[in-house]
């Protein structure tokens, strides 16, 4: 029997870390590893993509006293969230949760060969403090500094890891700069993308809700992301308003859902963009929408890597992105996409440039065709090298 490897993640809802994990798991060597997964919250859209042989772990059975402690911790957490809002304290909710409730939480029993927190926040705190394992690793999938994580608090947990994995070289450099005590533990492993799977899924269907579109008269724009503040969908809505003010007819599909959706829909209504901006919610297979678009638009404030940018590149789509910190790991402005300042005027100008310049579009597409994403080989090999350590 191979090494017992436990992955921990918040959930498998629609998101970059979640998609990266369900892309990685099928590619790991089953003769070498027995794969276990603990999802802290169930019911995510990507659960259906899990390989059948991944063993799902469940919250351990808890005594009455442990349940009471957990309830008390939840009460403290609710109080602390309100207190932080009242006094204007900026603290990441995952940190507040751990400070309030971590003392009452229990891990998966037994000793593991390898325990992996595949997300910053609660999974990392659990692996550091509540899981017994011969080797511990933590993935960092986002720009934790812009996301509001406290350096000192999180460093205390990352110091317990044997390896800390950043999903881009730029992110790795930022972590090394701000967290000098873990420099020797840092490894860069890009999010895994499977070009064959993505292209197969993109060709699998033609969505019935695709609007009629033509790049010359009414182009189709698409954005795929969780609808949360870091993904900056409100900027997309303001950009759509700017496009309309400049006389551009278009349809713009938002694929995804999340906590910011009410604000996004409200702003669409306020700007009277309902006929042009179409939030369709989560799609387990978003690739037919990406394949159909004339321009793929990324509006993020920050990313750890930018998984959907990588997916759009695999589908050879003209891309316009905001200038979030790590975007230059994937795009070179004017060569394989356009990078715009993070405001409606700049973003709408870049979109119009991509739409109206067929020579630019063709050059971008041809350059993308020369790129080949090999992360399903190179990055899986890096992961297995870490797993194989004694």
Packing angle, helices 16-24 and 307-314, rounded to 10: 60
Average the pLDDT over 218-237 and give the result.
95
Q: What is the DSSP letter of 259?
A: T
Average the pLDDT over 260-287 and give the result.
94
Return the percentage of the chain with pLDDT > 90, whole number. 70
pLDDT bracket for residue 219 (50, 70, 90): very high
| Cβ 301 vs Cβ 225: under 8 Å | no
305 pLDDT above the threshold of 90: no
pLDDT bracket for residue 104 (50, 70, 90): confident
User: What pLDDT sits at residue 90?
Assistant: 86
| Cβ 168 vs Cβ 305: under 8 Å | yes
89 pLDDT above the threshold of 90: no
User: What pLDDT sits at residue 270?
Assistant: 96
61 pLDDT above the threshold of 80: no
Q: For the chain, what are the domain ranges?
A: 3-60+106-192+375-387, 195-370
Counting Cβ atoms within 10 Å, is residue 225 exposed (0-12), middle (13-18) or buried (19+)?
buried
Note whether 3-60+106-192+375-387 and 195-370 share their fold: yes
Q: Among 11-15, 136-140, 267-271, 357-361, whose mean pLDDT is lowest?
A: 11-15
**Distance (Å, rounded) from C-alpha 2 to C-alpha 331?**
39
8 or 73: which leads in pLDDT: 8
pLDDT bracket for residue 72 (50, 70, 90): confident
**Distance (Å, rounded) from C-alpha 66 to C-alpha 72?**
10
Distances (CA, A) of 20 to 7, 63, 234: 13, 35, 25
Tell the residue number behind the tokens 């994937």, with chain if given.
330
- Nearest one of 218, 273, 269, 226 to 245, comparing CA atoms: 273
Give me the CATH topology for the region 3-60+106-192+375-387: Rossmann fold (3.40.50)
Average the pLDDT over 179-208 and give the result.
91
**Distance (Å, rounded) from C-alpha 151 to C-alpha 145?**
8
Average the pLDDT over 218-232 and give the result.
94
372 pLDDT above the threshold of 90: no
348 or 61: which leads in pLDDT: 348
Average the pLDDT over 171-179 and give the result.
94
**Distance (Å, rounded) from C-alpha 321 to C-alpha 338?**
6
User: What pLDDT sits at residue 49?
Assistant: 86
Average the pLDDT over 37-56 and give the result.
90
Thinking of the domain 195-370, which architecture would CATH place it in?
A: 3-Layer(aba) Sandwich (3.40)
| Cβ 140 vs Cβ 82: under 8 Å | no
User: What pLDDT sits at residue 266?
Assistant: 96
User: What pLDDT sits at residue 48?
Assistant: 86
pLDDT bracket for residue 83 (50, 70, 90): confident
Mean pLDDT of all residues belonging to the chain: 92
Distances (CA, A) of 136 to 29, 74, 277: 19, 27, 44
213 pLDDT above the threshold of 90: no
**Distance (Å, rounded) from C-alpha 44 to C-alpha 340?**
33
65 pLDDT above the threshold of 80: no
Angle at CA of residue 297, ends 296 and 303, nearest 5°: 120
**Distance (Å, rounded) from C-alpha 183 to C-alpha 358?**
45
313 pLDDT above the threshold of 70: yes
pTM, full prediction:
0.85
1 pLDDT above the threshold of 70: no
User: What pLDDT sits at residue 354?
Assistant: 97
């Amino acid at each position: 029997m191979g090494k017992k490897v436990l992955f921990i993640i918040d959930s498998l809802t629609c998101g970059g870390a979640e998609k990266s994990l369900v892309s990685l798991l099928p590619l790991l060597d089953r003769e070498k590893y027995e794969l276990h997964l603990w999802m802290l919250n169930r019911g995510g859209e990507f659960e259906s993509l899990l390989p059948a042989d991944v063993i799902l772990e469940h919250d351990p059975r808890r005594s009455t006293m442990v349940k009471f402690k957990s309830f008390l911790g939840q009460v403290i957490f609710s109080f602390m969230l309100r207190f932080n809002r009242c006094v204007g304290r900026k603290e990441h909710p995952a940190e507040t949760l751990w400070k309030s409730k971590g003392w009452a939480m229990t891990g998966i029993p037994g000793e593991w060969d390898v325990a992996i927190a595949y997300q910053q926040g609660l999974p990392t705190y659990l692996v550091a403090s509540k899981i017994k394992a011969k080797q511990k690793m933590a993935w960092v999938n986002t720009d934790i500094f812009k996301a509001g994580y406290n350096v000192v608090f999180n460093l205390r947990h990352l110091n317990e890891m044997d390896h800390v994995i950043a999903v881009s070289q730029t992110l790795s450099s930022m972590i090394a700069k701000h967290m000098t005590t873990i420099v020797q533990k840092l490894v860069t492993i890009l999010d895994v993308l499977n070009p064959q799977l993505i292209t197969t899924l993109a060709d699998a269907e033609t969505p019935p809700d695709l609007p009629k579109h033509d790049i010359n008269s009414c182009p189709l724009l698409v954005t795929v992301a969780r609808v949360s503040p870091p993904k900056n969908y409100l900027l997309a809505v303001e950009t759509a308003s700017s496009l309309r003010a400049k006389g551009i007819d278009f349809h713009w599909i938002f694929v995804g859902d999340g906590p910011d959706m009410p604000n996004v829909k409200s702003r669409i209504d306020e700007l009277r963009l309902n006929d042009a901006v179409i939030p369709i919610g989560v799609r387990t297979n978003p690739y037919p929408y990406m394949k159909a678009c004339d321009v793929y638009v990324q509006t993020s404030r920050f990313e750890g890597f930018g998984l959907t940018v990588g997916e759009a590149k695999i589908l050879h789509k003209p891309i316009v992105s905001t200038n979030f910190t790590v975007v230059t790991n994937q795009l070179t402005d004017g060569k394989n996409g356009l990078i715009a300042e993070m405001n409606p005027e700049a973003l709408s100008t870049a979109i119009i440039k991509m739409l109206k310049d067929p020579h630019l579009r063709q050059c971008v597409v041809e350059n993308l065709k020369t790129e080949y994403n090999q992360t399903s080989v190179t990055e899986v090999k890096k992961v297995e090298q870490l797993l194989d350590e004694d």
